[in-house]
Amino acid sequence: MQQYMSDKQRTIKKDVSLKGTGLHTGKDVKITFKPANENTGYTFRRTDIENQPEIKAIVDNVVGTSRSTVLQQNGASVATVEHVLSAIYGLGIDNLIIEIDGPETPILDGSSKIYVEKLIEAGIKEQNDNRKYFVVKNNISFTDSDTGTQITAYPAEELSLNVMIDYNSTVMGEQHASLVSLSEYQNEIAPCKTFVFLKELEVLLKNNQIKGGDLSNALVIVEKEFTQKEFDRIADLFHKDHQKYHGRGILNEQDMTFPNEPARHKLLDLLGDMALVGMRVKGKIFASKPGHFSNIQFVKKICKEVKKMQ
């Protein structure tokens, strides 16, 4: 990843596009990244809607956190923004226009890797203005006693993240992941796929979700024992070929990049949601059992402190 000595804002050098399928909608979509002016942040633009309404990627525009983060503004919305924003923030890009011709970003391989590759292909360039930072001076914490979630920001000179997840899973166990520096993001975090428990798939499908989900864009964790017949029935629901059931474990373990990939993916999600602060953050973040709802509540607490500065 290209490194910079100065601390100027950054955008990309040229337009780049890619196509894919929305995870929950199952609809094909094209997404185009375009350079943006200083101090404009991240802006989604719905090119499939009349007048091409824009949606600023800030926490005030979050309208949903069920299985993904959803933004809405000017009568338009865009869903599953966290993997895109994670890639943008992780690469040190400050200003970007993200054109999209559908209601949801493409899931691609379930990670941020392909987004990172496209943005690097576009080239990253420095702009004239200096970056703005929110520097954590006092601890900022969000706790959810119902889920056992806690996310806390501690004072530090640079941004780092530490994540712990625990789903009471005998397959995954308790997992930890950390990102000491954003310079490690491209290789250590971006390739990490989203994950789902096999027992959840049928429920999600019945709730009109994950229409674009398959074994190529998510790690599927088999926690309980199934019969081959049950296994085949679930494959039929997704219009997928039957596979031999091998018992408990990770169904597509060959697609894993790291043993603690689920925890790393939760860190990826957290970074994407933190992009909604609207400026860079300097602080040490510890997150226990994070999810999109808790991430957004935590970001809202940070933004309250940001507004006190202004």
Domain spans in the chain, listed from the N-terminal domain onward: 8-131, 195-255
**pLDDT band, residue 6 (cuts 50/70/90):** low
Q: In this predicted structure, what is the pLDDT of residue 111? A: 94
More confident residue, 21 or 187: 187
Helix (H, G, I), strand (E, B) or coil at 145: coil
User: What does the pLDDT look like over 64-96, one tens digit per residue?
Assistant: 998 899 999 999 999 999 999 999 999 999 999
Q: In sequence order, which residues have a C-beta less than 8 Å from that of residue 185 and are 6 or more positions away? A: 1, 90, 91, 179, 271
State the average pLDDT for the chain.
Answer: 89
Determine which of 146-155, 243-252, 267-276, 289-298 has the lowest per-residue pLDDT on average: 243-252
CA atoms of 205 and 213, how far apart (whole Å) = 9
Enter the tokens of residue 243.
């596979």
Judge residue 12's burial from the number of C-beta atoms within 10 Å of its C-beta, 0-12 exposed, 13-18 middle, 19 or more buried: buried
- The one catalytic residue among 24, 83, 265, 292: 292
* In the predicted structure, residue 5 carries a pLDDT above the cut 50: no
Active site residue 292: yes
CA atoms of 15 and 32, how far apart (whole Å) = 7
**Amino acid type, 278:** G
For residue 41, which of 95, 101, 122 has the smallest C-alpha distance? Answer: 95
Q: In sequence order, which residues have a C-beta less than 8 Å from that of residue 280 and are 6 or more positions away? A: 94, 131, 132, 133, 134, 159
Enter the tokens of residue 217.
């864009």
Q: Can you say whether the dihedral through the CA atoms of 239, 240, 246, 252 is positive or negative?
A: negative
Helix (H, G, I), strand (E, B) or coil at 240: coil
Alpha helix segments (H runs only) across 207-286: 228-237, 261-274
* In the predicted structure, residue 213 carries a pLDDT above the cut 60: no
Q: Which long-range contacts (CB under 8 A, 24 or more apart) does 6-9 make?
A: 6/126, 7/130, 7/131, 8/126, 8/127, 8/128, 8/129, 8/130, 8/131, 9/38, 9/39, 9/94, 9/95, 9/126, 9/127, 9/128, 9/129, 9/130, 9/131
Domain 8-131 in CATH 3.40.50.880? no
Q: What is the mean pLDDT of residues 244-251?
A: 70
Query: For the chain, what's the residue count?
Result: 310
